């Protein structure tokens, strides 16, 4: 087992990893920017190293400084958290080359899954369901039309180098395709510097279903059930829950089997999440693999009783999986609300000093946050400041607890999305579990 680990991250996830390390008897090194010198994650670690000024490119994502910090503190492993360097294949590779274990998949795993077209190809070749789409980039309007007619309208044209909802165009009829094709190419060129586009079937009211997997170095892979992350705004998740209200045991076994197979095909190691789209008829399609621990991992922990960060660290240290698939039991229901330091209606960032921070508590309530009264929310990083997680015997109790917890939660001095979460929990469609990825856009009007 590792003796000392450096946590290459900040905020709530750094705190989460430090907590797991403490429980495993591992010494911890926190890195921080100058803006985070007084942050909670820095105070609870055994050692700390300032790695740069506020800007994350010069500090948390500054590979030479992060590696140098690892060298001078003599750590044997680095946990990258999520975001920052967690899916940087080059960083994982450099760690490997200097003999510091990167707590996550291998650099090859990250590189392969980071190429979304390649990942789909690998999965498709195994005969597993992928989102119907053009085989590669579209060379011309004619190409696009042929592909669209084969796949079936509506289709969505997407930028190959893209993401974040940019360089996308939905096309409902063949007559609109030419114009949409040109527009998508132009936007892709101006946003990503690359006008390559491809085509996929467009699902009208899809649900975002993702499966947590764990893989050890001997090739054993298990899944820990699915998470439904359909409540999103501009592709940013706001509320997640497990199990999904529309996934029954049979479907869960199916999706779980496909997720495990997809990951085995890629010789994947450590933790990962396989993302699927679920259409209205409950057909599911592979989208991509996220090669990191995810923000919403706590809801899986609540229903399985498994500490995912400790498992992740154990797997990285070369231990075999301690659980078999048949031992994985999902108990009850869990939800998470991501509380952001933003205006709850305009979503503009709201940095500043938290004059009062009073998180909720009680049975079935968990808060993952590095905030305290007097903490300063700085504008340089992601705006998420707390994750409010609840667990209940069933979805009704879980929601009742979440409503109760949201009502108790006090964060003053800055604006937060707490009011939005309270409204979501009061929504009849949400309460019935009738949501899709378009829910929030409609909800916000």
Partner 1 sequence: MSRRRSKAKTRRIVLPDTVNEPISEASLTGGSVRQIQELIDLLRHNNLTELEFERQGIRIRVRHELATKPFTTAVQESVPAPSQQPAHHAIAMTPVVEGATGFVTVTSPIVGTFYRSPSPDADPYVEEGDSVKKGQVLCIVEAMKLMNEIESEVDGRIVKILLESTKSVEYGQALFLIDPKTAS
Distances 5 to 1, 69, 103, 109, 309 between C-alpha atoms, Å = 10, 11, 9, 22, 13
CB of 67 to partner 1, least distance (A): 6
Looking only at residues 27 through 46 of this chain, which bind partner 1 when binding is defined by CB under 8 A? 34, 38
- Is 221 within 8 Å of 215 (Cβ atoms)? yes
Map residues 252-291 to x or -, x wherever contact with partner 1 holds by CB under 8 A: ----------------------------------------
Of 202 and 381, nearer to partner 1 (C-beta) is: 381
Looking only at residues 149 through 188 of this chain, which bind partner 1 when binding is defined by CB under 8 A? none
408, two tokens: 């108790």
Q: What is the 3 state secondary structure string of 155-172?
A: EEEEECCCCCCCCEEEEC
Map residues 365-404 to x or -, x wherever contact with partner 1 holds by CB under 8 A: ---------x------------------------------
CB of 27 to partner 1, least distance (A): 15
Q: Which residues contact 333 (CB under 8 A, 6 or more apart)?
A: 241, 242, 243, 303, 391, 392, 393, 394, 395, 397, 398
Of 136 and 374, nearer to partner 1 (C-beta) is: 374
Taking each continuous run of H as one helix and of E as one strand, the counts in the chain are 15, 20
Of 344 and 352, nearer to partner 1 (C-beta) is: 352
Burial of 431 (0-12, 13-18, 19+ CB in 10 A): middle
The whole-angstrom separation of Cα 328 and Cα 255 is 15
CB of 255 to partner 1, least distance (A): 43
> 10 Å Cβ neighbour count for 21?
24
355 binds partner 1 (CB under 8 A): no
Of these, 6, 51, 289, 425, which contacts partner 1 (CB under 8 A)? 51
Looking only at residues 79 through 138 of this chain, which bind partner 1 when binding is defined by CB under 8 A? 98
Residue environment code for 399-409, b if the CB has 16+ CB neighbours within 10 A, otherwise e: bebbbbbbeeb
Of 35 and 239, nearer to partner 1 (C-beta) is: 35
- Is 410 within 8 Å of 388 (Cβ atoms)? no
Q: Which stretch binds partner 1 (CB under 8 A): 49-57, 122-130, 137-145, 410-418?
A: 49-57
Of 59 and 312, nearer to partner 1 (C-beta) is: 59
By three-state DSSP, how is residue 140 classified? coil
Looking only at residues 55 through 84 of this chain, which bind partner 1 when binding is defined by CB under 8 A? 59, 64-65, 67-69, 71-73
Of 72 and 410, nearer to partner 1 (C-beta) is: 72
CB of 95 to partner 1, least distance (A): 12
Of 10, 16, 61, 292, the catalytic one is: 292
Of these, 11, 52, 206, 272, which contacts partner 1 (CB under 8 A)? 52
CB of 72 to partner 1, least distance (A): 4
**What is the residue whose two structure tokens read 């789209």?**
277
356, two tokens: 């009062």
Of these, 49, 130, 188, 209, which contacts partner 1 (CB under 8 A)? 49
Distances 159 to 164, 185, 198 between C-alpha atoms, Å = 10, 7, 6
CB of 34 to partner 1, least distance (A): 6
The whole-angstrom separation of Cα 350 and Cα 383 is 8
53 binds partner 1 (CB under 8 A): yes
Of 64 and 135, nearer to partner 1 (C-beta) is: 64
The whole-angstrom separation of Cα 272 and Cα 285 is 17
Query: Is 253 among the residues known to form the active site?
Result: no
CB of 44 to partner 1, least distance (A): 13
The whole-angstrom separation of Cα 78 and Cα 99 is 11
Of these, 50, 151, 161, 251, which contacts partner 1 (CB under 8 A)? 50
The residues of the shown chain that bind partner 1, judged by CB under 8 A, are 34, 38, 49-53, 59, 64-65, 67-69, 71-73, 98, 374
**Catalytically active residues, by annotation:** 292
């Amino acid at each position: 087992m590792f003796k000392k680990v450096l946590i290459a991250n900040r905020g709530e996830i750094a705190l989460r990893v430090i907590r797991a390390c403490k429980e495993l008897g591992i010494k911890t090194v926190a890195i921080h920017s100058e803006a985070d010198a007084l942050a909670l994650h820095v105070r609870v670690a055994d050692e700390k190293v300032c790695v740069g000024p506020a800007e994350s490119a010069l500090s948390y994502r500054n590979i030479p400084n992060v590696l140098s910090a690892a060298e001078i503190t003599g750590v044997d492993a680095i946990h990258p958290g999520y975001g920052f360097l967690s899916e940087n294949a080059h960083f994982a590779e450099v760690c490997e080359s200097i003999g510091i274990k990167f707590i996550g998949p291998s650099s090859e795993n990250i590189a392969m899954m980071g190429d979304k077209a390649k990942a789909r190809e690998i999965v498709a070749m195994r005969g597993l369901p992928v989102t119907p789409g053009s085989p590669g980039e579209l060379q011309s309007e004619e190409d696009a039309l042929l592909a669209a007619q084969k796949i079936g309208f509506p289709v969505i044209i997407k930028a190959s180098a893209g993401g974040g909802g940019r360089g996308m165009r939905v096309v409902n009829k063949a007559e609109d395709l030419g114009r949409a094709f040109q527009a998508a190419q132009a936007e892709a060129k101006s946003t990503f510097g690359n006008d390559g586009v491809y085509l996929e079937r467009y699902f009208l009211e899809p649900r975002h279903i993702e499966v947590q997997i764990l893989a050890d170095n001997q090739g054993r892979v298990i899944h820990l059930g699915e998470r439904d992350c359909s409540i999103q705004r501009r592709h940013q998740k706001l509320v997640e829950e497990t199990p999904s209200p529309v996934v029954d045991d049979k479907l869960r076994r199916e999706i779980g089997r496909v997720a495990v197979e997809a990951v085995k095909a890629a010789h994947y190691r450590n933790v990962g999440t396989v993302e699927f789209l679920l259409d209205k008829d409950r057909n599911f399609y592979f989208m991509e693999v996220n090669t990191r621990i995810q923000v919403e991992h706590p809801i899986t922990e609540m229903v399985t009783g498994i500490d995912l960060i400790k498992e992740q660290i154990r797997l990285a240290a070369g231990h075999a999986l301690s659980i078999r698939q048949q031992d994985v039991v999902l108990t009850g229901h869990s939800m998470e609300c991501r509380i952001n330091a933003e205006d709850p209606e305009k979503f503009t960032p709201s940095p500043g000093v938290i004059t009062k921070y009073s998180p909720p508590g009680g049975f079935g309530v968990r808060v993952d946050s590095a905030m305290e009264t007097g903490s300063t929310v700085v504008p340089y990083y992601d705006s998420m400041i707390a994750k409010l997680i609840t667990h209940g015997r069933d979805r009704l109790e879980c929601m009742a607890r979440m409503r109760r917890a949201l009502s108790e939660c006090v964060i003053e001095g800055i604006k937060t999305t707490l009011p939005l979460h309270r409204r979501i929990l009061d929504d009849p469609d949400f309460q019935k579990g009738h949501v899709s990825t378009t829910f929030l856009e409609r909800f916000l009007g």
